[in-house]
Amino acid sequence: MHFEARLNELPRHLQSLLQSNSPETSATTETSAGGLSRRSFLKMATASGFALGCYPLLATAQDAAKAPSGLKATEQPGAFVQIAKDGTVTVTINRLEFGQGVQTALPLILAEELDADWSKVKFANGSNHPAYVDPAFGMHLTGGSNTIAHSYTQYRELGARTRAMLVQAAATQWGADASALRTEKGFVVGPGGKKLGYGELAEAAMALPVPEKVTLKDPKNFRLIGKPTGRLDAQAKSTGTQDFGIDMHLPGMLTAVVARPPVFGAKLKSVDDAAAKAIKGVKAVVRVPTDRGGEGVAVIATGYWPAKQARDVLKLEWDLASVEKVDSVKQLASYKELAKQQGALKYNDDVSKIATAPHKLNAEFVFPYLAHTPMEPLNCTVAIKGDKAELWMGTQMPGLDGFAASATLGLKPENIAVHTQMAGGGFGRRAIATSDYVVEACQVAKAAVAAGLDAPVRTLWSREDDVKGGYYRPMHVHRADIGFDAQGNILGWDHVIVGQSIVGGTPFEGMMVKNGVDATAVEGMKEPYEMPMRLSVHHPKINVPVLWWRSVGSTHTAFVMETLLDEIAQTTKQDPVAYRLKLMGDKHPRHKAALELAVEKSGYGKKKLPAGRAYGVAVHESFSSIVAYVVEASIKNGQPKLHKVTAGVHCNLAVNPKTVEAQVQGAALMGLSMCLPGAAITLKDGVVEQSNFGDFVVPRITDMPQVAVHIVPSADAPTGMGEPGLPALAPAFANAVARLSGKRLRELPFKVS
């Protein structure tokens, strides 16, 4: 978010902003993998309040530099590689696995340099230990499609260091020169072909000094990286044996559910819990603080069902007078008025030629709030033992969540252990600066202790809790005024965006809001096309919690850019592909390669489509990767239908092409979800009107189109793929529908009559 968790959701903006704003570093200043000095990072982070959550981790991680090897904790194999006597290699991942495939990709990268036997490679989840921070950001983070981009070299070096230590252990045992030995598929091979298995050498090898400098393989010698590889978690997931955070079970564990306020931030007037306490299995009913200054009631029981039954019979009276009660209809009207005024400027090019342009285009776009709705709703298990606590959950930011738990429980940060569990999706919802669901679970666990309950407590969210529980993709309104000539040359583009800031009021604001503009709101605007643009933004403050949603700002900016450009091409009677290539010029070869690959593989311009079908095209970069779509769509009984999707992908080196394919397929389906009627979160009198999949639509299997994914060959360092497949799908679909209906779509989800 990311983020990717994206977050889904900390986007790549954090790294770029940190780097662009950092003072020069001296030759003696220690730098991170991202090029930012620790001193500069801390100086900036302190100014923004960010260091509150990160500094202890950074300080502890840097203490590793005192080790004999001179390496940071993130660079030492001890925390990442365990080799059993039978040669099984277990690789610990420094990220959350929630469907994107990092539990395979990171072990694959390490195993490549280790020369491990892939059939004996397994994975393990990491924690909030300092070794597992993102080596570029210096904080625990899964988001912004940064896992492979930031840890590719890290895991290659970890594998190479482990291999070097195994070779040295064999050389010592044989009394041979290490340079005369080689490795292959889990063995060190010596003179005359004699062999020692990694399992035989592991104990001695791991006791050796860790080499600082290692030589990495020439990519032409890769035997694992770049080859389509099945996922290590595929069997467990396909057989239903995979455990997720929600499956956590500890001896004596209790389960809690929380009755949260119907309007965000509201408090209780009165509680009648007599009927709830009478439910068999209920151990306690307690009032707890909830997110955004609100208050709720937690029911703690022996299992989820008695807890839910008890919550259902609570009689609660809420004080709603002091909180803003958002109404979506009124909110939209106010946004549209704001969009008529210039806001805080991101770009301020000269757009005066709009007034005299031969062609003018005026458009207004509306994008609703969207819920994340991962298959596994939020959950967090907390065990308090004296002055220590342990937490188990699927989290994109275990370090930040650990510090939030520390503050909530009143315990020292070093006494908080966060065990990252596999998560059933997240799309950004498990990466949040407020750590809302973690803080709430800690409040419940603390209340349980106060009530005399000495047991771990697992706080579970239902699907209804999840849909109504906040932190949505923000609602946005765009207004564009464009002038262009008969050749489609854009003479001026005046654009206003209205939407809440995701990072405003969070520790990230100081780094990600510049001149009043939240960087996540404008990503994807203008580039890669050459044009004069004035872009301004309004960030109204609304009582609806918002967060990154897979591919963040590109969820709406790509739709606006790619549908408007398509309309200009159509108005000036130009082929939409040729028009895009002309606007790109020669400065964007990766975009061009992705688009041309999608066009070639789809048959666009060559294959005649069946009657009633049309092509749609879009291309977009997000998180340093480019995905182009050529789709085939139709309209039946007034409803658009997506039949076929051909993707051209440029993510530089594809570590595991199978994972890239899966990510694009999944992202395309999630992109389709934005188009379906009913795929919106709305509010009335401050209350979210949707509650489950009956009234918040997601695609069904019958909606799934054929998806073919093609990857542009590249040997350059890999970029992200968790999020980039999403943004271009909706505009490509909309462009196809517009060609069939003759009407341009200005709103998501689609409204076609």
Residue boundaries of the structural domains of the chain: 1-239, 246-321+378-460, 476-741
Helix (H, G, I), strand (E, B) or coil at 317: strand
**Contact call for residues 567 and 530 (beta carbons, < 8 A):** no
User: Is residue 752 scored above 90 in pLDDT?
Assistant: no
User: Is residue 641 scored above 90 in pLDDT?
Assistant: yes
| CA-angle at 337, arms to 336 and 342, nearest 5° | 100
How does DSSP assign 307-361, residue by residue?
Answer: HHHHHHT-EEEEE-TTS----HHHHHHHHHHHTTS--EEEEE---GGGGG-SEEE
The CATH number corresponding to 476-741 among 3.30.365.10, 3.40.109.10, 3.30.70.100, 3.30.450.20 equals: 3.30.365.10
Angle, in degrees to the nearest 10, between helices 729-741 and 554-571 = 30
Q: Which of 424, 426, 376 is nearest to 401 (CA)?
A: 426
Domains 246-321+378-460 and 476-741 share a fold: yes
Buried b (16+ CB within 10 A) or exposed e, 631-646: bbbbbeeeebbbebbb
Lowest mean pLDDT among 24-33, 58-67, 726-735: 24-33
Residue 753: pLDDT band (50, 70, 90) is low
Residue 52: pLDDT band (50, 70, 90) is very low
| CA-angle at 638, arms to 744 and 749, nearest 5° | 55
Angle, in degrees to the nearest 10, between helices 12-21 and 38-48 = 110
**Model pTM score:** 0.92
pLDDT at 527: 87
Specify the DSSP class assigned to residue 750. Answer: -
pLDDT at 68: 52
Mean pLDDT confidence for 111-120: 98
**Contact call for residues 584 and 529 (beta carbons, < 8 A):** yes
User: Is residue 30 scored above 80 in pLDDT?
Assistant: no
CA-to-CA separations, 442 to 130, 281, 395, 459, in angstroms, rounded: 22, 21, 15, 9
pLDDT in tens, 434-447: 999 999 999 999 99
The CATH number corresponding to 246-321+378-460 among 3.30.365.10, 1.10.3720.10, 3.20.20.10, 3.40.50.970 equals: 3.30.365.10
pLDDT at 303: 98
CA-to-CA separations, 395 to 426, 435, 549, in angstroms, rounded: 9, 9, 15
Residue 324: pLDDT band (50, 70, 90) is very high
Mean pLDDT confidence for 19-30: 31
**Partners of 499 in beta bridges:** 476
Q: Which two tokens stand for residue 752?
A: 């076609």
pLDDT in tens, 560-588: 999 999 999 999 999 999 999 999 999 99
User: Is residue 741 scored above 90 in pLDDT?
Assistant: yes
Lowest mean pLDDT among 27-31, 502-506, 682-686, 738-742: 27-31
pLDDT at 723: 97
pLDDT in tens, 657-671: 999 999 999 999 999
Mean pLDDT confidence for 51-65: 36
Give the span between the Cα atoms of 428 and 423, in whole angstroms: 12
User: Is residue 599 scored above 90 in pLDDT?
Assistant: yes
Is the Cα dihedral 673, 674, 677, 680 positive or negative? positive
**Contact call for residues 374 and 227 (beta carbons, < 8 A):** no
| CA-angle at 108, arms to 35 and 205, nearest 5° | 85
Task: Report the first-to-last Cα separation within the chain, whole angstroms.
Answer: 35
Residue 341: pLDDT band (50, 70, 90) is very high
| CA-angle at 526, arms to 666 and 575, nearest 5° | 75
User: Is residue 54 scored above 50 in pLDDT?
Assistant: no
Strands 476-484 and 195-197: unpaired
Give the span between the Cα atoms of 586 and 129, in whole angstroms: 46
Helix (H, G, I), strand (E, B) or coil at 472: strand
Architecture of domain 1-239: 2-Layer Sandwich (3.30)
Mean pLDDT confidence for 691-699: 95
User: Is residue 232 scored above 60 in pLDDT?
Assistant: yes
Residue 35: pLDDT band (50, 70, 90) is very low
pLDDT in tens, 174-205: 999 999 999 999 999 999 999 999 999 999 99
pLDDT in tens, 66-103: 455 689 999 999 999 999 999 999 999 999 999 999 99
Mean pLDDT confidence for 732-736: 98
Mean pLDDT confidence for 333-343: 98
pLDDT at 69: 63
Give the span between the Cα atoms of 113 and 184, in whole angstroms: 10
Mean pLDDT confidence for 525-546: 96
Name the average pLDDT for the chain: 92
Alpha-helical regions (H) of 452-575: 463-468, 509-512, 519-522, 554-571
User: Is residue 394 scored above 50 in pLDDT?
Assistant: yes
Give the span between the Cα atoms of 140 and 131, in whole angstroms: 9
